[in-house]
Chain A
Amino acid sequence: MIEFKNVTKILNGTKVLDNLSLRIERGETFVIIGRSGTGKTVTLKHIAGLLEPESGVVLVDGQQMNGSSKRQKDNLREKIGFVFQSGALINWMTVEENIALPLVEHKVLPQDEIKKIVEEKLDLLQLTSARDRMPAEISGGMKKRASLARVLVRNPEIILYDEPTSGLDPVMSSLINTIINQIKKDQHITQVVVTHDMESAYAVGDRIAMLYDGSIIQCDVPEAIRTTANPIVRQFISGSLEGPIEVL
C-alpha cells in the first residue's frame, strides 16, 4: 500500500504538488493522468524516494519513505521497480547485461541461476533477438521492455511506470498494456502508471486519478472517468481546446 499525506513539493519556485493526499491499495493498477508538467513524474519519484517533499509524508507499506536514511531507502527500494520514460538503460552495456545488472551487482544468486532468470525475462518481453545489442541500437519500445525486464528480475512488489507508452506506435503500446495487465494477473503486483495516453489508462487502470494544479481533482474507476461530469477531466480526456484548462 502506498499513501501520500498532505505532500507539498516546490520545484524552481513552482508548487508542483500542493497538499496532495492519495492512497493506492495493494495489488491494484493505479493510473495517474494529467497534463505535462503537472507533477505526475514528481509523484512517482516521491514514491521511489528520489525526491523529498517540502512537507507531508509518503508511506510505502506503512514505512515512511521521505526523510529516511539511505539504508532505509535502499531496503524499501528492494520492493520497488521503476520503469523510466527513456528506459534509463546503462548505455555501455548490452540489453542482456542491463537486465542482469541488479542481480550481478548484489551477488544474490549464482551465475547460472542469473542467466536462467534473464533468459526467462528476455523471452517474456520478446527481447531474445535484442539480447546482444546496445541500448543505442534498439527502438524505444525495446528500451522500455528491457527496462521492465530489469525491474522484473528483482521480483518487486510495486512497479512504477513513467509514461510507458509515450512515443510508441499503437501496436507497441498495446503490447506494453498487455504486459502490464499480464503482470497484474499473474503476480498481483501493485502498479502505478503515469501517462497521458488515455487508451493506455483505460486499458490497464483499476482506478484513474487526474492530477491538476498539484492535487487530485478526480479519482475513480475507468468507466466513471469516461463519463465524468468534471469539466477539467472531460476536457483533458477529450483533448478539446475549449474548456477550463488554459492552453499555455
Chain B
Amino acid sequence: MIIIKKLKDVLVTVIGGIGKNTINIVYMLGYSTLIFLEVAYHSKAAFEKRREILKQMYYAGVKTFIVVSIVALFTGMILALQIGLELKPYQQQSLVGNIIIATLTREMAPFVTAIILIAAVGSTMAAEVGTMAVSEEIDALEMMAISPVRFLVMPRVISLALMLPIATVYTNLLGSIGGGIIAYFQLNVSFDVYYSHILESLHFKATYVGLLKAFIFGIMVSTISCANGLRATNGALGVGKATRNSVVSSFLMVLIVGYYITGIFYGKTG
C-alpha cells in the first residue's frame, strides 16, 4: 500500500511538472507573439534607434565571430568527411561539393548559426532584460512612460533579424571552405573540381530560403529571449530560469518553424 501511494505521489509530481512546464511554454509563446506584434508596431522608430541597433549588431556579430567561424569550418569538414566516405566506394566523391552546398544553404547554415546565436546572444538578451526586470529598471521605464518594448526589445529584434542572415552567409562560405579542405586532403578531389561542383549546386532558391529562415530565426530567437527576460521575477534565480527557458523555447521553435519553412518551399516538389 505504501509503495503504491509513493508511486502515485511520484507520478503526480512528474505529470504535474510536465503539465506545468507545458503550460508555461505555451503561455510564453503567446506572450512572445504579443511582444512581436508590439515590436512590429514600434519598428517605425528603427531609424531613430539606429545607434542601439548597430550596437546590438556588433554584440551579435563581432563578439560571436570566432565561435561562428570555428563551428562553420568544422561543420563543413564533418559533412565532407561523412558524405565523402559514403561516396568513395562508388568513386563519386567529386560530388561532395554539390551535396555540401545544398545541405549548407538549405538547412545546416541557418540552423547551426541560429543555434550558436541562441546560446551566445539569445541567452545574453534574456539575462540582460531579466536582470533589468528584477532590479525594477523595467518598472522605472514604465513610470517614465517609456515602452520597454520600444526601448529595449525592438532594437534587439531588428539587430538579430539582420545579423543572423549575415552570419548565415558567412557560415555557408566557411562551411564550403572546410568541406573543400577535407575534399582535397582526404578524398583526393581537387579544389577546381570541388568549387565547380559547389557553383553547380548553388541555387538561388536554396540561398533565399536559407536566408529567409535565418531572418525568421533571428526575429524568433530575440523576441522569445526578450519576452522571457521581461517576465523574470524572484532575483537571480528568476533570471537563471528566464535564460534557461529562453534557450529551450528558442531551440524548439527553430526546429519546428525550420521544418515548416522547408515544408512550404520544398514539400510539394520534394
Contacts and interface: CB of A to CB of B under 8 A. Distances in A.
A82 B137 contact: no
A77 B142 contact: yes
A242 interface: no
Interface string A96-139: 00000110011000000000000000000000000000000000
A90 B137 contact: yes
Nearest to A84: B136
Interface string B9-26: 000000000000000000
Interface size class of B (residues with CB under 8 A): 10 to 19
Interface in B117-162: 131-132, 135-137, 139-146, 151
A74 B139 CA distance: 12
A89 interface: yes
A52 B145 CA distance: 17
Contacts of A80: 143
B136 A88 contact: yes
A81 interface: yes
Contacts of A150: 140, 144
A154 B136 contact: no
Interface in A59-112: 74, 77-78, 80-82, 84-86, 88-91, 101-102, 105-106
Given A88-B139, A91-B137, A102 B132 contact: no
Contacts of B143: 48, 50, 77, 80-82
A147 B146 CA distance: 15
A48 B138 CA distance: 13
Chain B binding surface SS class? helix
B120 to A, nearest CB: 19
Contacts of A102: 144-146
Contacts of B141: 90
A82 B143 CA distance: 7
A48 B145 CA distance: 11
A78 B142 CA distance: 11
B127 to A, nearest CB: 12
B135 A101 contact: no
Given A74-B145, A105-B151, A106-B145, A82 B132 contact: no
Contacts of B145: 74, 77-78, 102, 106
A147 B135 CA distance: 13
Contact of A89 (B137, B139, B146): B137
A163 to B, nearest CB: 12
A36 to B, nearest CB: 15
A31 to B, nearest CB: 20
A88 B140 contact: yes
Nearest to A106: B145
Interface of B: 131-132, 135-137, 139-146, 151
Interface of A: 45, 48, 50, 74, 77-78, 80-82, 84-86, 88-91, 101-102, 105-106, 147, 150, 154
Given A77-B142, A77-B145, A106-B145, 15 more contacts: A48-B139, A77-B144, A78-B145, A80-B143, A82-B139, A82-B143, A86-B135, A88-B135, A88-B136, A88-B139, A90-B132, A90-B137, A90-B140, A91-B132, A105-B146
